[in-house]
Amino acid sequence: MKNYITLGVGVLFIITGLFLMQGGGSDDPALYNPEMFNFQRITLAPIIILSGFIINIFAILYPQKGE
């Protein structure tokens, strides 16, 4: 059961990272929006997504005790 909870936490990390990565575009493609390349989208979101994948790998490979 502990592995399923850890797996759920990893999926939530991935979803949160994807939500942090979206946005920053412009309605007019001729306009440049520097907000698209801020810290949240370039650094923070990929770190959160990668940590979610690492948590999921740990949840899948970690053996259950007592079974």
Average pLDDT, the chain: 90
CA-closest candidate to residue 10, choices 47, 56, 45? 56
Chain centroid to CA 24: how far? 17
E strand or H helix that includes residue 60:
helix 45-61
Statement: residue 12 has pLDDT above 70: yes
pLDDT of residue 66: 65
Rounded Cα distance between 19 and 25, Å, is: 14
Name the residue with higher pLDDT: 61 or 67: 61
In this prediction, what percent of the chain has a pLDDT beyond 90?
Answer: 64
Statement: residue 63 has pLDDT above 90: no
- What is the four-CA torsion angle of 43, 46, 47, 48, rounded to 10 degrees? 120
Which tens digit of pLDDT belongs to each residue from 28-54? 878 887 888 899 999 999 999 999 999
